Structure 1
Amino acid sequence: MNTQIQKLYTKVAKSERLIIGLMSGTSMDGLDIALCSVKGSGAATDIQVLKFKTGDYTDDFRAKIKAIFSKKEVDLQLVCLMNEHIANVHAELINNALGEWGYKNEDIDFIASHGQTIFHAPKSLHQLADYPNGTLQIGDGDHIALKTGIITLSDFRQKHLAAGGEGAPLAVYGDYLMFSKAGEDRVMLNIGGIANFTYLPGSTDASEIFSTDVGPGNTLMDQYMQKHFNKFYDKNAAVSMAGNLKQQLLSALLDCDFFDLDFPKTTGPELFNLDYLIKAQEQSSTTDLDAADVMATLCHFSAETIAHAIKRCFGDAAKAEIFMSGGGMHNPLLVQLLQSKLPSCNFLTTDDLNINPDAKEAVLFVVLANETLCGKPINFGDRKGVPSVCMGKISLPE
């Protein structure tokens, strides 16, 4: 047997595995690195977050990603080079984190790397009859494995596509294993660049569970802040709270076919970007609005689309335990608006479930990798968008 395959087999057979999960989302604020201890698999998964940090990106590196991010026309050579460059940067951030935490690379059994999404193209968005759903994450797993010396699983979304899904959202798989609770209906709401949630019924019946994108979370607000205020995001909603909702603009922003599509569905900054905002302003004759009023309205837009999606599932008097994660949970205006629009819901964070909410997305990929290595596909029933598959390509370090 190849010695690397033997090493893989030995690590999989361990009663406790140390797995690093990586997540770099559409906000591109840095690389989330979660070191987890994992025992068991499937419904018996026992996971603990041992260490977590966000490895900072330099402004130069972030600019290089943005040069190829969410654009239909890009420099193909740059895409090719960035596939390797992103992996090298991620590997360096992992090595630095392990040194900071006092771990040796050989202590770690596996890395689960999401990579960096640069384009997401479900059929609902590209509308090209002869083409399938598509998505592209770069940051090559072989480079990470070689430069860390750790077996790496990566490129998770391609199996989801191959099995008939849209490549997103994948949260349903990890949320089911980590957070389901008999007798309690739960909503796992992640407000990243795009907002998505997973519905976990108290029946714990996997065939009733689903995960869906619902619309913009932070992406439009972040893009607007970067362009008009030269700030990465609206810290503590300072700008949004200084502005006022403009109903004409909000109505125009809500006028989009995506919001009428059935669940599950996916979207991204390919749709919800500054061009989308400009068109809505032109349509509503609000191009001369004060920037703070635009930000306030964008925050209301995100809140309205999230609340509307939850009401579609639970009715206008929706009652559910909503566990938040993602950057949007730190936006006080957004959270306040959600609470006012869903007054019968109880808003918590995944901290209340012993998972750091900022680490949740990285931990998700730890769970997905663990299932590929030690588990088996979960039977979610014969439903569109939720294929019963294990995901992730395996890269060996030698």
Structure 2
Amino acid sequence: MPLFVGLMSGTSLDGIDAALVRCGEGRPELVDALGIDIPDSLRQVLLMLCQSRQASFADLAYAEQAFCELQGEAVARLLAANDLEAGAITAIGSHGQTIEHAPHGISPYTWQLDNPSLLAELTGCPVVGDFRRRDLAAGGQAAPLAPAFHAALFRGAREWRVVLNLGGFANLTLLPPTEIDTPVIGFDTGPANALLDAWHARHQGGHFDIDGQWAATGEVDESLLKRLLDDRFFHQPPPKSTGREYFHLDWLAAYASGREAPQDIQATLAELTAASVALGIEQALARQGAEGPLTLIPCGGGARNADLLARLQRRQPALALARCDDFGWSADWLEAGAFAWLAWCRLEGLPGNLPSVTGAAGERVLGGLYSA
């Protein structure tokens, strides 16, 4: 099967993931993967752009160029580690860096900083980019796009499964058994690491709360948790997606009294993620009339957060916890792998979206092709 590279930088803004994937008619195969950190200087500019109402063209151009050069470096390292030349790669699938996602309103938009032309020039590989806007043009949310890939990897014959991505934001994919003629559904459930990371950085420094250790020292403020969960987003029916433009520290401040201890806020934010995911699972199961045992497959950075997973299991004790590794994939590289696979879909003329997930008017071939 031909080789593809998938590039993904999520809403946590911690780094760029690069996955080397064999794609074809069979099940996609992860060959190798690596991550490359985003330098603090670039990360701060990207964070500013995510929250700015008056971004300058100069800042946007700088961030896009620096981000694309970092992507090129990630590809070069991945190819060198596998003793491969650029010609061995059929295409790179580049997601870009989401700056803002607003699929609602009179002029819906989703914006990922990326320069596929420059990436093709830097790497010598064809590039598929701009995956999301085709679904948006068809009336969809443009997110999440990974559920079609989740189905290709994880769907089983008789068992209901939930793939839970815990990145900056949490999204789930409910996979019915293949023996049942029921569509796959998926949607964002709310914040995951984005608020936890931001609050930890403000009070403890560093980019994230390792293994949820600081959150585990706090007490959940049940009153604050209830106010947060009353937010309309958590109760909207799917399709739905969200991002930093909605959930940020100012959103939190609007609900907090200001008298809470910082570690208690962190514990409450962790519980908010667990509670909103649990609510999302209940909504998905009810929507699809799911019955029988349910296996949960966590992925993304939050899959290593023992405190967060323990909170979720307390809220959903009937869930059987599985690992991505049990299916031949690492939880760290699933999202990057998805965009390698979506690049393969683009070259094969196959749809990459699921209308049952995004709400688009129909299946669409996603992304534009940029020759090397």
Give the TM-score of the pair, scaled to structure 1.
0.88
Corresponding position: 1:35 with 2:16: no
Match of 2:49 among 68, 89, 96: 68
- Per-residue deviation, residues 241-277 of structure 1 (Å, max 9, x unmatched): 1111111111121121111211120011111110011
SS in 1 for 2:49: coil
The residue aligned with 1:376 is 350
Give how far 1:74 is off.
1.5
* Match of residue 214, structure 2, among 223, 226, 239: 239
Equivalent pair of 1:71/1:119 in contact (CA under 8 Å): no
Counterpart-to-counterpart distance in 2, 1:122 and 1:206: 29
Q: 1:147 to 1:202 in 2, by over 3 A?
A: same
Give the whole-Å Cα distance in 2 for the aligned partners of 1:275 and 1:204.
46
1:313 corresponds to 2:284: yes
| Matches of 1:59 and 1:296, distance apart in 2 | 26
- Is 1:89 aligned to 2:70, yes or no? yes
Q: CA deviation at 1:176?
A: 1.9
168-177 or 138-147: bigger deviation: 168-177
- The whole-number CA distance in structure 1 between the counterparts of 2:197 and 2:355 is 37
Q: Within 5 A, what are the aligned runs for 1:259-298?
A: 259-281=234-256, 285=257, 287-298=258-269
SS at match of 1:39: coil
- How many positions carry a matched residue from both structures? 368
Question: Per-residue displacement from partner, 1:145-180 (whole Å, max 9, x unpaired)?
Answer: 011000010110011111111111112221122221
Q: Which residue of 2 aligns with 1:144?
A: 119
Counterpart mapping for 1:83-122 below 5 A: 83-122=64-103
Measure, in 2, the Cα distance between the counterparts of 1:207 and 1:159: 25
Q: 1:302-341 CA distances to partner (integer Å, 9 max, x unpaired)?
A: 0000001111233599841111101111111110011111
Q: Gapped runs of 5+ residues in structure 1? A: 1-15
1:200 lines up with 2:175 in the alignment: yes
Counterpart residue type for residue 91 of structure 2: F
Other structure's SS at 1:358 match = helix
Distance between the aligned counterparts of 2:295 and 2:35, measured in 1?
28
Deviation at 1:187, TM superposition (A): 0.8
For 2:313, the equivalent position in structure 1 comes to: 339
Mapping of 1:172-251 within 5 angstroms? Answer: 172-203=147-178, 208-251=183-226
**2-structure distance, mates of 1:215, 1:384:** 16
Q: Measure how far apart 1:46 and its partner are.
A: 2.5
Say if 1:164 and 1:339 are closer, same or farther in 2 by CA, change over 3 A: same
Question: Equivalent residue for 1:325?
Answer: 299
Partner residue of 1:299? 270
Q: Which residue of 1 aligns with 2:40?
A: 59
RMSD: 2.0
Question: Aligned partners of 1:234 and 1:247: how far apart in 2?
Answer: 21
Q: What amino acid maps onto 1:296 in structure 2? A: A
* AA in 2 matched with 1:114: H
Report how far residue 379 of structure 1 moved. 9.1
Percent of matched pairs sharing the same residue: 31
Q: Is the partner of 1:166 in helix, strand or coil?
A: coil
* Partners of 2:357 and 2:29 in 1: CA distance: 31
Tell me the distance in 1 between the aligned counterparts of 2:211 and 2:325: 20
* CA deviation vs aligned residue, 1:85-104 (integer Å, no higher than 9, x gap): 32122112211332233222
Does the aligned pair in 1 maintain the 2:141–2:239 contact within 8 Å? no
Larger Rg: 1
CA change 1:84–1:385 in 2 (3 A) is same
Q: What TM-score do the two structures reach when normalised by structure 2? A: 0.94
SS at match of 2:156: coil
Q: Which moved more, 1:214-223 or 1:68-77?
A: 68-77
Gaps of 5+ in 2: none
* Greater Cα shift, 58-67 or 145-154: 58-67
Secondary structure of 1:91 counterpart:
helix
User: Cα offset for 1:209?
Assistant: 1.1
Q: CA deviation at 1:83?
A: 2.4
Q: Which residue number in structure 1 is paired with residue 331 of structure 2?
A: 357
